[in-house]
Amino acid sequence: MNLFRTVTGLSAALLGAGLLVTPVSAAPPAEPSTRDFGNGPERNEIAATIPEGGTLTTLAAPDTRWTPPRRGYPRQNDLREYPVNPDDRSIKLGLVPYHGIAPRLNALQDASQRVSAEVVGQSALGRELYLVTLTAPESAAESARQDRWREQIEDDPAAAKRDRALAKGYKTPVWINANIHGDEWEGTDGSLRVIERLATATDAATAAFLRRSRVYVTVTNNPDGRIAGTRANGAGFDINRDHATSSQPESRAVRDVVIATQPFVMLDEHGYTGTTLIEPATPPHGQNYEYDLYIKHALPNTLGMEAAIQALGKPETARADIPFRDYAPGDWDDWPPIFTPMYAMYQGAIGHTVEIPLRVNRADYDNLPVEELRRRSALNTDVAEATIEAALRYSDTNRATLLADQIEQFRQGWAGAPSPQIPDGFVDGFGPEDRYSTEFPRAYVIPVGPAQRSAPAAARLVDHLVSHDVRVTQARRDFTLNGRRYPAGSYVVDMHQPKRGLANVLLEAGRDISELVPQMYDISGWSHRLLWGASVDISRSAAPRVSTRPVTVAAGTGFVPSGRGDLALTLRDAADIRAVNALADLGVPLSRTSAATVVVPAAGRASAKAVSQQFGVRFEPAPRGVPRTPFEKPVLAAAVSADELFALRDMGFEVRTVSTALLNAGADLSGVDVLLVSSGLSYLGLNATAKAAVDRLLAGGGVVTRGGTGAAFNTAAGLLPATAVLGRGDANGVVSVQNTGAVVGAGSLPHSFVYSPIWFTGSGFTVEQRYAADPLVAGHWVPNAAGVGGPEQAAGQASVVSGATARGGKAVLFGTEPLFRAHPKGLYAQFARAIYWSAP
């Protein structure tokens, strides 16, 4: 894991928006004990780049949940075997290359009726993701009974608690996730050892264990990174930061696995921390957990894993670091739901990150002798295997209490029980610093109709919640709640539901924890309610009294008014941007009445209807008598991070990736309308030829910047007379803003997201957006020093500015993070409006 936002170069095809090829190497992680909390490294130091060659796949794919087939075990499938790839980076370490996994699993399926292997998804580059299930053979009827019991545990926990047959016969589910970071390899190899032992052992104890258990293993969660030796997947994303957003196919695949298998215990095998690290984590603990039900198992399970690695008898495994026991608050927390184990906890599991000890990646991979690398990898594999075996023993030994406590977690959700109050000493070391709780609201309502800010954003949010197994219903008729009238079709998230913690952690505002812990490991604030662009109301104490129906997919939102006149589309959401770019691709002549409104001529109505259906956008009759400016889709040159490139292409922009190195090597800027700068481009680092090319673009083209790199480019290139002031480098979270400008500010949300926040001082530009008087809503943001770089200093300052540049073009500078990790989807439109406005 890494304190700062991990970035890798994104491999991308030249044009063909949304197409990928093999990525370049990732940035090294920061060690949790040696961090710089000043104005340290910007979270994106490497720009996304244009590669050579590679396998192509689209970025965006329909989010359809994988579910296992309804049949008995074994469920054996002949896995496709890939050609030998001598460039697979795992080979040097003496580990199993990706192309070696399918043959090994196929052979085990041939040899053992205990092994089932299936494909549960594809990576960003289209490689198959494998799920292996180990259990004693089951007839179709026996498997169906297990499915009914699993559903009963979630849907009717009171009945499950009384069901003696369930208590006796339900198989203990355990899930092992390996290699989510591609250059942390050995979890795959350790799990393959465990698979082989369980598949082939002839002793009675193993046979009895498999009659009582199901062990699920996602053998490699990141085959693209495994092959390339990169932390990130083929789209440049850290998958272990994506579980609240599910932007990547790999995170969606394991989301579906945890929902379908509902494990009691899960391990996520990582590396490398010098000493084996095994969670539970430090405070702050996620305030939406039933933390008492978690820690009572997590700590003893971890102690068992520590004993297992000690039994290896190696000096490097003499002890484990257990953050809950050994680290200071904030050093290795479990606050955000972005990590796999933390996400799994909301799905009913006791989740653990395991960090195996000896580094074999990054500089060590290149510089250490092969013999030493293989010694380290062998020991790391032993550690991974030992922790998995210990977790299986704990799960089997404690199956009755694990079952009872998963039932209890879901029962408390259905009952609307208060957040648990855990006494000091509940487990060894539990004290006031560990006590985090929340007050769950009674319901959330996502309205439809005039009160909804963005119909496509609301539909996206509903579909996202449903895909994560959050229960959403839709009102059959109009209703009144807390004095407000809601039309039929409005969506209700009743918080009396089994996975209320997950529902709340996605929808609540969050919490300012700046005074509670001195530092944070990763992001501290997020909110789909505040940042995804939909109007969502909270009912603290009352649930709607209205008949509802369960939602499996949100109702369509596309709309084109009748008539023959021109149409207008207000740019509030990424869906609106996608629609505009699609219309431009279709050759529809567009115009604008303002930065936020695009007009489609009457002759383009058929195209408008098509994009309305495709993207769910809602057109209105165009206003008459308002001046219009002809408008075309701009061509972008972008020195941006992987997540920003992903978002831009997802919105349908044509993007050519650039960097200092690429421009110095002769990258072509002809035909480019707007230059985007947030990562990997230094104006002062350009050679004479490249600088001349950039200067020609700046003479009339647009510029949109983000972050410290963008601000430095603005100053060096002499664009806007704005001085950037940098807040604390690791500060992040949801902030309140005041929208004051006509370009970015028009129609934007009253909240934004920051990571390493920036504000601008000076004059000679338009302030599009300001930080509010008390800016931080949720997250962690403290000053660098007294009176320097904190939220008090940012209050009221300009967070986004625009203006005509000294070079003859237009520029917009962002001090916020509107595209961060593909998460704050409701902010995408303001970034796109900046692009449209700045284009010549």
Kindly state whether residue 11 falls inside one of the protein's structural domains. Answer: no
Kindly state whether residue 811 falls inside one of the protein's structural domains. Answer: yes
User: Residues, the chain, total?
Assistant: 840
Last residue of a domain, one of 584, 611, 631: 631
Residue labelled with tokens 């769950």: 440
Structure tokens at 839: 């284009």
pTM: 0.93
Kindly state whether residue 351 falls inside one of the protein's structural domains. Answer: yes
Give me the pLDDT at residue 48, please: 57
Helix (H, G, I), strand (E, B) or coil at 521: coil
Give me the pLDDT at residue 51, please: 36
Q: Residue 63 burial by CB count (10 A; 0-12/13-18/19+): exposed, middle or buried? A: middle
Q: Give the residues of the chain that fall short of pLDDT 70.
A: 1-62
741, 823 Cβ separation under 8 angstroms: no
CA distance linking residue 714 with residue 692, whole number of Å: 16
pLDDT in tens, 553-577: 999 999 999 999 999 999 999 999 9
Give the residue among 258, 47, 87, 71 at the shortest CA–CA distance from 173.
Answer: 258
Q: Which residues contact 275 (CB under 8 A, 6 or more apart)?
A: 316, 319, 320, 321, 357
Kindly state whether residue 311 falls inside one of the protein's structural domains. Answer: yes
Kindly state whether residue 792 falls inside one of the protein's structural domains. Answer: yes
Give yes or no: 81 in active site. Answer: no
Q: Do 372 and 485 fall within a single domain?
A: no
Angle at 386 between CA 383 and CA 389, to 5 degrees: 150
Q: Which domain holds residue 499?
A: 443-550
Q: Do 594 and 469 fall within a single domain?
A: no
268, 340 Cβ separation under 8 angstroms: yes
Residue labelled with tokens 């000690």: 310
CA dihedral (683, 685, 690, 692) positive or negative: positive
What CATH code is carried by the domain that includes residue 367?
3.40.630.10
Q: How many distinct helices (H) and strands (E) make up the chain?
A: 25, 32
Kindly state whether residue 31 falls inside one of the protein's structural domains. Answer: no
CA distance linking residue 451 with residue 430, whole number of Å: 45
- Rg of the chain over Cα atoms, rounded to whole angstroms, equals 27
Give the residue among 247, 204, 90, 225 at the shortest CA–CA distance from 645.
Answer: 247
Q: Do 337 and 458 fall within a single domain?
A: no
For residue 120, give the H/E element and its range: strand 115-122
Last residue of a domain, one of 550, 580, 604: 550
Q: Could you write out the DSSP letters of every residue in 480-493?
A: EETTEEE-TT-EEE
Q: Do 732 and 594 fall within a single domain?
A: no
Q: Do 206 and 185 fall within a single domain?
A: yes
Last residue of a domain, one of 631, 657, 686: 631
Give me the pLDDT at residue 38, please: 28
Amino acid type, 415: A
312, 386 Cβ separation under 8 angstroms: yes
Helix (H, G, I), strand (E, B) or coil at 129: strand
Q: Which residues contact 450 (CB under 8 A, 6 or more apart)?
A: none
- Bond prior to 272 in cis (omega within 30° of 0): yes
213, 176 Cβ separation under 8 angstroms: no
344, 175 Cβ separation under 8 angstroms: yes
Kindly state whether residue 390 falls inside one of the protein's structural domains. Answer: yes
Amino acid type, 677: V
Give me the pLDDT at residue 69, please: 80
Q: Residue 499 burial by CB count (10 A; 0-12/13-18/19+): exposed, middle or buried? A: buried
Q: Which residues contact 662 (CB under 8 A, 6 or more apart)?
A: 49, 50
Give me the pLDDT at residue 827, please: 98
CA distance linking residue 551 with residue 138, whole number of Å: 32
Give me the pLDDT at residue 47, please: 53
Q: Do 379 and 502 fall within a single domain?
A: no
Partner residues linked to 356 by β-bridges: 271
φ/ψ (deg, to 5) at 246: 55, 45
597-600/629-631 β-pairing: unpaired
282-285/333-334 β-pairing: parallel
Q: Do 626 and 641 fall within a single domain?
A: no
Q: In total, how many domains does the chain have? A: 4
pLDDT in tens, 289-310: 999 999 999 999 999 999 999 9
Q: How many CA atoms lie within 13 A of 299 on its CB side?
A: 16
Q: Do 751 and 803 fall within a single domain?
A: yes
Q: Do 597 and 718 fall within a single domain?
A: no
Give the residue among 580, 526, 530 at the shortest CA–CA distance from 246.
Answer: 526
Give me the pLDDT at residue 29, please: 31
Question: Which of 118, 138, 355, 768 is an active site residue?
Answer: 355
Give the residue among 300, 137, 130, 111 at the shortest CA–CA distance from 214.
Answer: 137
Q: Do 616 and 639 fall within a single domain?
A: no
Kindly state whether residue 44 falls inside one of the protein's structural domains. Answer: no
CA distance linking residue 224 with residue 568, whole number of Å: 42
Q: Do 237 and 108 fall within a single domain?
A: yes
Q: Do 376 and 470 fall within a single domain?
A: no
